[in-house]
Structure 1
Amino acid sequence: MDQSDTLQRGLRVGLPSSADALSTCFATSYAGIIAFMAVATEGSFAKAGERLGVGRSAVCRNVQKLEMQLSTRLFLRTTRTTSLTQEGERFFENCNQGVTHIVEAMNDMLDLREGPPRGLLRISSTVGFGRKVVAPLLSRFSRAYPDIAVDLRLDDRPADFAAEQIDVAFRDGCIEDSSIIAKQLIPMQMVLCASRAYAEERGLPSTFEELGQHDCINFRFSSGRVFEWEFKVEGHLRKYLPAARLTFNDADLVLTAVLDGRGIAQMPGYQICDYIARNELVMALRQYVPDDRGHYICYLCRQHLPSRIRVFVDFMTEEIRALDLNDLSVFNADDTETSAGKMAA
């Protein structure tokens, strides 16, 4: 069939052109097809009206409009019976296939929302938090929900939910994006720390002015920007960008350099809590740790949330909070005072 034949066929069924044939045809015949399917299934215009919640006359009008649009008689009607014509039987069989597909599609969507969790889950996380916290929990999650496939992407840039088709993202800091739902998992404590060997040899800073006397190690984001150290002073956020002897674009390399005694750095509590507990690292300027940051699990909407996303959010929230990653208050209680005293001496 050439283009002119297609256009003529479109005009015969009341379409302005073949370009928008599908949308126009469906819009003009939808009510008629629904009425036709109800009559064919119930065998009566009156019963079809009861099923659809409309009057018998409304069903008749919609079927008549459909017959006029198709230039085809679909029913044989007498005072006692209503039956399909041969053309009507053929049309019913073809429409029934479409209805079956639509019902299956709707049931599939409802199953994703209310049925057993399944499908592909795309997750984004910052590199450090993803490696240290998220990735180790995925094996347990997969055992609990074997029908969910997980795609984890580590990137320090904020995830673009739409462009990257991200279902869930882990973000750090302060969330200012009002278009997403952000649930805080744990506070984000940015702690200035050094190895015990470094503290014993060089002491630890007790004031901001003393930071310039130390070997500082910086972290560079993938964007190229260097992370500014943050402190809470008299209720206000104060940022400090030290002159660093070492700068890395990988948080693990920063941690390794600090553990090796090559300087001091400000790092998130989740990354250093184990080393603090083992007294391999000590903290400084703890009284100025900012308290308005957090680690968040983010998604786009609370309504109609697929079960695979819902169970993942609940699982990660419970598991990450149970890790107690930021309880640093019981460690190194006297280190700041001891090291500061040594430095003053």
Structure 2
Amino acid sequence: MDQLDVAGTSDTSAERGFRLSLPNRADALSTSFAASYAGIMAFMAVASEGSFAKAGERLGIGRSAVSRNVQKLETQLSTRLFLRTTRTTQLTREGQRFFDNCHQGVTHIVEAMNDMLELRQGPPRGLVRISATVGFGRKVVAPLLEQFIKAYPDIAIELLLDDRPTDFASDQIDVAFRNGRIEDSSIIAKQLIPMQMALCAAPSYVAAHGLPHTLEDLGQHECINFRFASGRVFEWEFKVDGHMRKYLPRARLTFNDSDLVLDAVLQGWGIAQMAGYQICDHIAANELVVALARHAPDDRGHYICYLSRQHLPTRIRVFIDFMTEHIRALDLQCLSDFYMDAPVAARGLAA
């Protein structure tokens, strides 16, 4: 049955013909857009330069290519845009009208393209939106920002501290700092430094309770847990005979902030496994003692992450380079001397 009869209409043949012609016209405009754009750019160049040859030099193409693009545009518009003689090239009245209408739009397009090229190739400027885990962002990233913004005064920084996995798209993140193991193959993850982990206690706790000498001793100690933003409790990890073993301690104290875990350990309330960047200063000051260092995991890292190596704006490239250089220069690998089979507790207390 005819579709018009189903709708209950009584279109005239002229109306029906007009309706049916609309999709064809849209398709024609769609398929000819590339040719139209090339033609418009060629037309604007000729109109501005007053010469097909000079327009070709400006566009980086030959005179004949400019002429062909303009002819295609004139055919598409069914309008003559230039009056050509052997010595001059002038706009027709229709050409002048078309030039005036196109000029503002083309100017905006050129400005937009130049702006994008400047972001990629020009001086660093604009906003860099950063995500970092709470502990690492507060302890390592944030203190370096003052020096960075002094070096690059035209770059604005927005630092978001969050222990949840980074969603680059929805959160509009340019660069993320992440710890541990990176399993997302869709992002670029550049390791800044290895992530050292150590089981620690305050000397006051050691004096009252001693230290675990084997993994089996852990159940006899007061443990302090860390809970991720996802709700999962951090499992301690140990390397035993080349294999990873995880241990979820029973704890009377659990915090969702790594600094609170550190404070509780410093107060002598219990033991916890923490990252090297948190505890190096306290170990050097004899405020913490390391235990079970021979079983410390060695396959974690601190990473700077971004979506692609290609077409990075200058502001992001200089931020990545700056942070890579300066974080690697920090003394965050202080646990290396502990990673051996000697009696760690004794050496830690002696220090």
TM-score between both structures, scaled by the size of structure 2: 0.85
Kindly state the Cα deviation for residue 303 of structure 1 after the two structures are TM-superposed.
Answer: 1.8
The answer to whether the aligner puts 1:114 opposite 2:121 as a matched pair is yes
Change (3 A) 1:82 1:196: same
Which amino acid counterpart does residue 116 of structure 1 have in structure 2? P
Partner of 1:185: 192
- State the shift of 1:101 in Å: 2.1
Distance 1:43 1:338 in 2: 87
Mapping of 1:102-141 within 5 angstroms? 102-141=109-148
Q: What is the rounded CA distance, in whole Å, between the counterparts of 2:97 and 2:248 in structure 1?
A: 76
Per-residue displacement from partner, 1:207-266 (whole Å, max 9, x unpaired)?
A: 011000000111000100000000111111110001112111111111111111111000
CA displacement at 1:43 relative to structure 2: 3.3
CA drift at 1:340: 11
Contact 2:126 2:156 in 1 (8 A): yes
User: Match for residue 16 of structure 1?
Assistant: 26
Partners of 2:237 and 2:246 within 8 A in 1: yes
Aligned partners of 2:339, 2:34: CA distance in 1, in Å? 71
**What's the secondary structure of 1:183's corresponding residue?**
strand
1:271 correspondence with 2:281: no
* Paired position in structure 2 for 1:145: 152
Q: Give secondary structure in 1 for the equivalent of 2:232.
A: coil
Matching residue of 1:336: 344
Is the contact made by 2:289 and 2:348 (CA closer than 8 Å) also made in structure 1? Answer: no
Q: Could you tell me which residue of structure 2 aligns to residue 72 of structure 1?
A: 79
Q: Alignment RMSD, CA only?
A: 2.7
Q: 1:321: Cα distance to partner? A: 1.5
Deviations 1:309-334 (A, max 9, x none): 11111111121112111212447997
What amino acid is the match of 2:115? D
* Residues 328 and 299 (structure 1), Cα distance of their counterparts in 2 relative to 1, 3 Å cut: same
* Equivalent residue pairs, number: 327
Correspondence 1:164-203 to 2 at 5 A: 164-203=171-210
Partner-residue secondary structure (3-state), 1:16:
helix
Q: Deviations over 1:100-128 (max 9, x none)?
A: 22222222112111221110000000011
Q: How far 1:52 moved relative to its partner?
A: 5.3
Q: Aligned with 2:193: secondary structure?
A: strand
The one-character-per-residue Cα deviations of 1:15-65 (angstroms, maximum 9, x if unpaired) are 328xx97x5663351232133224324434466567653463x54443333
CA offset at residue 80 of structure 1?
4.1
1:53 is the counterpart of 2:61: yes
Which stretch shifts more, 69-78 or 178-187? 69-78
Does the CA contact (< 8 Å) of 1:199 and 1:339 recur in 2? Answer: no
Q: What CA distance in whole angstroms lies between the structure 1 residues aligned with 2:153 and 2:241?
A: 50
8 Å Cα contact 2:52/2:63 also seen in 1: no
**Cα pair 1:219 1:247 within 8 Å, conserved:** yes
Matched residue type, 1:43: G
Counterparts in 2 of 1:28 and 1:330: CA distance versus 1, 3 Å: closer
State the AA in 2 paired with 1:197: S
Is this contact kept in 2: 1:203–1:340, CA < 8 A?
Answer: no
- Is 1:204 the counterpart of 2:211? The answer is yes
Residue identity matched to 1:104: E
Residues 284-295 of structure 1 correspond to what in structure 2 (within 5 A)?
284-295=291-302
Per the normalisation by structure 1, the TM-score is 0.86
Aligned partners of 2:240 and 2:139: how far apart in 1? 29
What is the match of residue 13 of structure 2? none
Return the letter of the residue paired with 2:25: L
User: Could you tell me which residue of structure 1 aligns to residue 40 of structure 2?
Assistant: 33
Partners of 1:142 and 1:339 in 2: CA distance:
42
| SS at 1:99 equivalent | helix
Q: CA deviation at 1:81?
A: 3.1
After TM superposition, list the pairs within 5 Å mapping 1:217-256 onto structure 2: 217-256=224-263
Deviation at 1:286, TM superposition (A): 0.3
Contact kept? 1:218, 1:248, Cα under 8 Å? yes
Alpha-carbon spacing, 1:49–1:125, altered in 2? closer, same or farther (3 Å): closer
